[in-house]
Chain A
Amino acid sequence: MRTEPAEPDSSFRRPRSVRIYRLLLRAYPVEIRTRFGLEIYEAFDDSLEEATGKGRLDVARLWLVTLSDVAQVILSRRSTIHSSLGARGPQGPPPIFDPHGSPPRKTKMLDTLMQDIRFSIRGFRHAPAFMALAVMIVALGIGATTTVFSVVQGVLLRPLPYADSSDLVYLGTSWGDAVPTYTSRPDFIDWKERLTTVESLGAATLQTIVLAGDGDPQRVMVSPVSRDFLSALGVAPALGRAFVPGEFETGQNDVALVSHGFWMRYWGGDPDVLGQALRPEAGPDARESYRIVGVMPAGFQAPEVLGLAETEVWVPLPMDEGAYATSRTSRNLRVVGRLASGITVDAARQEVAALQAAMIEEYPDSYAWRDSTVGIAIASLHEQTVGESGPALWTVFAATGLLLLIACANVANLLLARATQRNREIALRAALGAGRGRIVTQLLTESALLALTGGVVGMLFAFVGVRAFVAFSPVDFPRLATVQVDVGALSFAFALSLLTGLVFGYAPAMLGSRGALISTLKEGGNQVGFGRSSAFFRSSLAAAQIALALVLLVGAGLLVNSYARLLAVDPGFEADGLLLMEVDLGDPYPEGEQRAAFFAALLGHIESIPGVESASMVEYLLQDFAMWAPNVILEGADEETPPSFPAHVVGPAFIETMGMRLLRGRDFSTQDAGGAPPVVIVSESLARTLWSESDPVGQRMRISQSADAPWLTVVGVAADIRRGRVVYDPQPELFVPYMQFPYFDWTQVLIRGEVGAGAIRGSAGGSPAALAGPLSQALLEVDPKLPFDGVITMKERIASGLESSRASTFLALSFAVLSMVLAAGGIYGTMMYAVGQRTREIGIRVALGATSSSVVRLVVRQSMVIVGAGIIVGLVGALLLAGLLETAVFGISPTDPLTYLAVAAILGLVALVAAYLPARRASRVDPLTALRAD
């Protein structure tokens, strides 16, 4: 018999959903379950199938209906149980005094609670708009706070993933501050010997090797480590063994540990990996091969602050090898250690200070730096990892807390407004015998329920929020990879919801229940004892929110404006249609001529790819400092200290490929090669600096002070470009041909072209992926052993330089929008309350002939006084604080009037809408009802 092919869709979802349903059904009375048994599941399953056929919305609706039904069953069951308890009482009607006959106190309390909850739900159903608004405000507050809490927890509070990680310290050379950096080998050996407060000092460095994977060569990060490095981190291989002491000797060190991920990727998790060989195709001191002796545990990652997070292979680091072994100024070791037991970082710092003094005295030359000396710094590894993000995150956390408080105030306001509308109901209940405590409990139950609902929605917001936070943060923000909304964050949100429920529920409950004391029923209407001063307080609160929202909006508006300007800055070259491909030659090309020949061949191959217009190269362009800044000596000039200018080593057709403007002379060509006369192109501003008005083309310069340095002839002048972060002004700089100065073994190949339908041009539409294939093929043809590291568009590269601006813009905008929504809620609540208070007055006005539009105008006018005051205060505040943004904005004044006006207009409009709703409600007041009510 042939089996039917299973429908993946239904066979997937059903069993699980039915299981969930079965769990929910536990709420049902046992008789129903035993009586109908599986049939119920079958029927539910059928409904689910039908809903699934119709779409997701129907499935969601089905679950919603089911859940609310179960909730109702639970609530109704409680009271049934209770009444049946009463009915089962031993002897008929309860005696008047019977200490044992009444139901247990606990049951009674629970019963009351259930009753309160039922009652609250019924109340909310009658006021869906109120409920939705209040829940949304709470949800925004809780969502924002939980988001930031998740980040704070993941980045700041969670210990580093190493055993006893609080004892771990980072030790290193410091340059004028207390921040440890890399260290030399002789220093490391001395420190290790002398320090007693820090134990198991270990060091590591970093290399890349190239491995022949399945076909394509792959670049892999390798970390040579000293004997104690891994044990200091408290980690041991999960499979195989650690290095043994003999393996740290030169010649014995051909062993390797690999990461779990690497093991899975290359060996598919095969335990036979032990003893296998790892053969690098290229890399520094490429050996015949490494023998794999162990696999590190899954999830192990070397500390990211040491720049080792991506390491996948660890090899022993012999201390006596090469030039590094003796030079105290070749600082490339990252040193970690463990505090001796009972020692604090501060105690260790004292010993380190003494060590520093001793080292400076013994090795004054190696420790000299500028006019002073370098130092030795020690810091907790955690602190150092978190770095400056710590204070920043706490600030953001505090700001979110403030937002939450505002949210609480708003919901309290809304609840007050509701209490005024309900005071007759409350008074009625009081008249029927409910004590004040009972009424307060009921009101608090309502607010707790509201808060919890808001909390649940807020948790959903937090999931989205954390994702957005991670996506918008700079890549170098520490520890973001592991940030998530976890059980801790959810518990936090839950506790926070309960707390906020009490905070915003307390005042309305107390004031609301006071209405029960004075007999409102008799005296009528709306005199629930809120005085003039509390009305003023509420208005001030609403105005303050508007002011705060305006300040934040102005800040966000300026940042958005500035970010847009950053993106729109003309860098002086055509970034559209430009691709970057990084090439790292490494060891196999020790000689300049080899490198020049390699790149000449590579550029030739690339230019023959269909769709490529031109190709060139530059060692590194888009960074804030120059890799190379030679002294420039002009012909005929005789300066003691010739000025130095940043220089770039570029390929043929550089100006054309970059899309720069050539002001005079010519671009480089393939003719400007090794044997040809040396040439140079200068930037517009360098030309102005060196020759002011006269024509630079044909002038000669040397870029080295040595007597036999060649003379370079200026062949062209290029318009200035902004490189590095576009906020910096163009610098005077010069360009020389790589074929004549093949100094760098890694460089970026620039490719300009149009492949297919705009594959490169306009990175928004096309994708660089279209060219990735042909480019990697070109690289393979020139050297099959070099790995292809992918391509990136120039636009992406420029944008990645703007990450921190983008992050702060995003954060400011989120806060501003949140605060605006909250402020709108504040206005809404305040006006709702005011309208509730003035129902009678409005009724009289209407009775005396006021039209509904005049009532709307009346209410809106009152709200606009509050909004106007808020906006004025906010504008003044924003102007006062504008100085803070001076350095954060680009191309726009922090007091830009247009931004201020636009933002005030937007906020005013939003507030107007928020005020209009209560106003419309007021206009519908029926004079008869309003008057009869009293």
Chain B
Amino acid sequence: MQSSETTQPDSHLPLKPAVFLVLLALAEEEQHGYALASSVRDLSGGKLKLATGPLYRHLQRLLDDGLVEESDRRPAADQDDRRRRYYRLTELGRDVVAAEAVRMADLVEVSRSLELLGAQGKTR
């Protein structure tokens, strides 16, 4: 059973950038591990390349925290590979990723009000 504390989306914030991207990728669609890594790379504009090991460490964490669950979806029979599992966001996961997005949007708003965004690249 999950404690009430961990079912509160806010208790998971802030997310590590990589974890946020994993959740975003899963928000798009259910995916298996390798496809997930590719999506993360695409979402980050090629900046974040998750190696297999870290990817599964994040997944393990997300599964434990109940943000992600295994999907019962299977690919078409001729492409099926029993080793491959699909993952999707849980209700909680969806809430968390949304909460993180809101948090970031707030931060962006603050930055904008401080006129930081216009001055990018001249900070030093």
Contact = CB atoms under 8 A, between A and B. Distances in A.
Interface of B is mostly: helix
Q: How extensive is the interface on chain A, given as a class?
A: 20 to 34
Contact of B83 (A25, A35, A42, A47): A42
A831 to B, nearest CB: 27
A66 B81 contact: no
A705 B59 CA distance: 101
Chain B interface extent, by class: 10 to 19
A44 B52 contact: yes
Nearest to B57: A32
A65 B51 contact: yes
A69 interface: yes
A70 B56 CA distance: 13
B28 to A, nearest CB: 18
B83 to A, nearest CB: 4
B42 to A, nearest CB: 13
Contacts of B60: 31-32, 35-36
A16 to B, nearest CB: 17
A436 to B, nearest CB: 37
Interface string A539-564: 00000000000000000000000000
A38 interface: yes
B56 A42 contact: no
A46 interface: yes
Nearest to A68: B51
A38 B83 contact: yes
8 contacts: A25-B53, A28-B57, A37-B83, A38-B83, A47-B51, A69-B53, A69-B54, A70-B53
A693 interface: no
Interface in B42-93: 49, 51-57, 59-60, 63, 81, 83-85
B53 A42 contact: no
Nearest to A46: B34
B37 interface: yes
Counting from the closest, the 6 A-B pairs by CB-CB distance are A46-B34, A43-B33, A43-B34, A38-B83, A44-B52, A69-B53
Interface string A71-110: 0010000000000000000000000000000000000000
Interface in A1-46: 25, 28, 31-32, 35-44, 46
Interface core residue of A32, A39, A66 (most chain B CB under 10 Å) = A39
A153 to B, nearest CB: 39
A39 B85 CA distance: 7
B37 A47 contact: yes
A42 B84 contact: yes
A42 B81 CA distance: 10
B35 to A, nearest CB: 8
A41 B56 CA distance: 11
A341 to B, nearest CB: 61
B88 to A, nearest CB: 15
Contacts of B37: 43, 47
Contacts of A28: 53, 57
Given A43-B34, A46-B34, A47-B37, A36 B51 contact: no
A37 B84 CA distance: 10
A40 B84 contact: no
A29 to B, nearest CB: 8
Nearest to A73: B53
A685 B84 CA distance: 88
Most buried by B among A31, A35, A47, A66: A47
Contacts, number: 55
Contacts of A42: 33-34, 81, 83-84
Given A41-B83, A42-B81, 9 more contacts: A35-B63, A36-B59, A36-B85, A39-B84, A42-B33, A47-B51, A62-B51, A65-B51, A73-B53
A47 to B, nearest CB: 6
Given A31-B60, A46-B34, A47-B34, A66 B51 contact: yes
Interface string A253-293: 00000000000000000000000000000000000000000
B84 A66 contact: no
A36 B49 contact: no
A370 to B, nearest CB: 78
B115 to A, nearest CB: 26
A38 B34 CA distance: 13
B83 A66 contact: no
A66 B53 contact: yes
A266 B59 CA distance: 62
Contact of B55 (A31, A43, A62, A70): A43
Contact of B52 (A31, A35, A40): A40
Contacts of B52: 40, 43-44, 47, 66
Interface in B1-47: 32-34, 37
B34 to A, nearest CB: 4
A35 B62 CA distance: 13
B49 A65 contact: yes
A40 B54 contact: no
Contacts of A70: 53
Nearest to A33: B56
A477 B56 CA distance: 56
Given A31-B60, A32-B56, A32-B57, A39 B33 contact: yes
A37 B63 CA distance: 15
Nearest to B53: A69
Contacts of A32: 56-57, 60
Contacts of B54: 69
Contacts of A31: 60
A25 B63 CA distance: 20
Contacts of B33: 36, 39-40, 42-43
A50 B59 CA distance: 22
A39 B53 CA distance: 11
Contacts of A43: 32-34, 37, 52, 55-56
Interface in B92-113: none
A36 B84 CA distance: 9
**Residue of B32, B34, B85 ringed by the most chain A CB atoms within 10 A:** B34
Contacts of A47: 34, 37, 51-52
Contacts of B85: 36, 39
A40 B81 contact: no
Given A46-B34, A47-B34, A47-B37, A40 B51 contact: no
Contacts of B57: 28, 32
B60 to A, nearest CB: 5
Contacts of A66: 51-53
A47 B60 CA distance: 20
Nearest to A62: B51
Contacts of B84: 39, 42
A69 B81 contact: no
Contacts of B56: 32, 36, 40, 43
B67 to A, nearest CB: 16
Nearest to A65: B51
A65 B57 CA distance: 15
Nearest to A44: B52
Contacts of B55: 43
A80 to B, nearest CB: 12
Interface in A50-71: 62, 65-66, 69-70
A680 to B, nearest CB: 81
Nearest to B36: A43
A69 B34 contact: no
Q: Which interface residue of A41, A69, A70 has the most chain B CB atoms within 10 A?
A: A69
A76 to B, nearest CB: 10
B22 to A, nearest CB: 13
Contacts of A38: 83
A52 B9 CA distance: 41
- The CB with the most chain A CB atoms within 10 A, among B54, B55, B56, B60, is that of B56
A294 B60 CA distance: 66
Nearest to B54: A69
Nearest to A37: B83
A43 B34 CA distance: 5
Contacts of A73: 53
Nearest to B38: A50
A19 to B, nearest CB: 15
